[in-house]
Amino acid sequence: MNCVSKKYVSLMNKVLDQEATEQEKQVLFEHLATCAECRVHFNELKESTELLRRLTHPQLPAAFTESVLNQLPPDKRNAIHKWGSRHPVLTTVAICALPMSLVVIGSRRQTRNRNGYALVKVSGDQT
Chosen residue from 3, 9, 27, 45 binding Zn ion by CB under 5 A: 3
Nearest 5°: phi and psi at 61? -65, 155
CB of 80 to Zn ion, least distance (A): 59
CB of 29 to Zn ion, least distance (A): 12
By C-beta, is 3 or 77 nearer to Zn ion? 3
35 touches Zn ion (CB under 5 A): yes
Tell me the CB-side half-sphere exposure of residue 127, using CA atoms within 13 A: 1
Chain residues 36-65 in contact with Zn ion, contact rule CB under 5 A: 38
Q: How many residues bind Zn ion (CB under 5 A)?
A: 3
CA 120, CA 98: separation in Å to the nearest integer? 25
Q: What sign has the CA pseudo-torsion 59, 61, 67, 71?
A: negative
Residues contacting 2, CB < 8 A, separation 6+: 37
Write down the least CB distance from residue 72 to Zn ion, Å.
54
Dihedrals φ, ψ of 119, to 5°? -75, 130
What is the nearest approach in angstroms of Zn ion to the Cβ of residue 24?
15
Helix (H, G, I), strand (E, B) or coil at 1: coil
11 binds Zn ion (CB under 5 A): no
Asked if 27 is part of the footprint of Zn ion (rule: CB under 5 A), the reply reads no
Q: Which is nearer to Zn ion, 45 or 91 (CB)?
A: 45
Q: Which residues bind Zn ion (CB under 5 A)?
A: 3, 35, 38
